Amino acid sequence: MMSQIIPQTLRNSRQPFVALSGPSFALELMNNLPTAMVVASKDKKLANAVQQLLASRNLRISTTSDVTGVEIAGALKKRCSEIRWLSTKMGAKSTTISGLSGMGDIMLTCFVSLSRNRTVGVRLGSGETLDDILCSMNQVAEGVATAGAVIGLAQKYNVKMPVLTAVAHIIDNELTPQKAVFELMNLPQVYLYINK
């Protein structure tokens, strides 16, 4: 995660760090549409300073100390329960995953055509190759590069993440979308017990 890479690269374990995430598209911000985002930092004063710096009439900024939750939710935004399983094993709060930087970001990625990651997924599902898709885009779909990290994190934290792993295999051209769906649908049935 960037909160680990930046201090390591700078050789400063006390390097201040702020993660900015949440359900937003640059185009909507540029068009002054109401937007909400999350700033995460272990340093409350730094988080508040960034909040004050970025907040505006059209941009609402929430703060949290759950850097891990914000980073994982923002990076993986493909399957809510799998993100929650992994992030809580990594020390994140489940409330972060159900908040703006989790569910909010997932909703935008899944349902809004401005999402670069959604665009890649739709085009892959329609049979285009990843190389053709990426060559035709003038923006970065960060989920493509993030997908490979999922398998390593799932193994490291001993978390089963079938949907996210399938996405990584599709991106790596190890599975077709159709075969991935078939394999996922044929996984053993599970019983979800909800204690009320």
Please check whether residues 102 and 9 belong to one and the same domain.
yes
End-of-domain residue from the set 66, 84, 112: 112
The residue among 112, 131, 147 that closes a domain is: 112
Domain count, the chain: 2
Q: Residue 168: which CATH number?
A: 1.10.1040.10
Which CATH number belongs to the domain containing residue 72 in this structure? Answer: 3.40.50.720
Domain shared by 125 and 67, yes or no:
no
Q: Judge whether residue 174 has pLDDT over 70.
A: yes
At which of 79, 112, 145 does a domain end?
112
- Looking at beta carbons, which pairs linking 147-154 to residues 24 or more positions away fall under 8 Å? 147/171, 147/172, 148/172, 149/75, 150/76, 153/86, 153/90, 154/86
Pair 42, 119 in one domain: no
Residues 125 and 170 in one domain: yes
Does residue 195 sit within a domain? no
Structural domain including 4 reads 1-112
| 120 domain residue, yes or no | yes
Q: Are residues 15 and 62 in the same domain?
A: yes
Does residue 193 lie in a domain region? no
Residues carrying an active site annotation: 77
Same domain, yes or no: 75 and 130: no
Tell me how crowded residue 34 is: count the other CB atoms within 10 A of its CB. Answer: 10
pTM over 0.75, yes/no: no
Same domain as 128, residue 93: no
Q: What is the pLDDT of residues 135-166, one digit of tens each?
A: 999 999 999 999 988 889 999 999 988 889 99
Question: Per-residue pLDDT tens for 6-48?
Answer: 999 999 988 899 999 878 888 888 898 888 889 999 999 999 9
Q: Does residue 196 form part of some domain?
A: no
Residue environment code for 40-54, b if the CB has 16+ CB neighbours within 10 A, otherwise e: bbeeeeebebbbeee
- For the cut 90, the answer to whether the pLDDT of residue 1 exceeds it is no
